[in-house]
Amino acid sequence: MARERFGIIRFCKEKDMSALLIGSDIPAGQPASFAGMRAIGWQVGVHSYAWTPPTDVYETEASFIIRVEVAGMRESDFTISVEDNFLVIGGVRAESAERRAYHQMEIRFGEFSAAVELPLGVDVSKAEAEYEDGFLSVILPKLKPALINIKG
């Protein structure tokens, strides 16, 4: 059985975007959208005010897991949806209201988003998500193969 490969997409919310598809035949500056776009092995670089948190995608015996590192959030701060063939995770991490004079600033605030192409053979209707210790994990159970009986 061939292993399913899928990639993380860095994107902005607009459906039609100018994109640089690394490793693709679509030249930079050409419109791209989720429909018809394959993410396998590609990352899409676009200019957007949204940032993308570190994201891991891995597989277990029973499921695919998307794990996003975003500390300082509550479960209600996230949105998780399926758009076309992509799992889209987004939200807003609010900056402290306290005025500060930064000497170094590496922690990002504001709107963030990440999209992962859904692999074949997942049951999106049974997906679960949990947020613990600064990590949002979305668990996508694998479909179980169905045997078809032959009547004779």
Residue 48: predicted pLDDT: 57
pTM: 0.67
SS3 94: coil
Residue 3 lies in a domain: no
Ranges of H-type helices in the chain:
none
In a domain, 1, yes or no: no
pLDDT per residue as tens digits for the range 19-70: 333 333 444 444 444 444 444 333 444 445 789 999 999 999 999 999 999 9
Domain contains 115: yes
Domain membership flag for residue 52:
yes
Tell me, what CATH number does 38's domain have?
2.60.40.790
Q: Which residue has the higher pLDDT, 88 or 15?
A: 88
In a domain, 148, yes or no: no
Torsion sign across C-alpha atoms 69, 143, 2, 7: negative
Beta bridge mates, 81 = 88
Q: HEC profile for 25-65?
A: CCCCCEEECCCCCCCCCCCEECCCCCECCCEEEEECCCEEE
Q: Is residue 22 part of a domain?
A: yes
The number of domains in the chain is 1
- Is 147 part of any domain? no
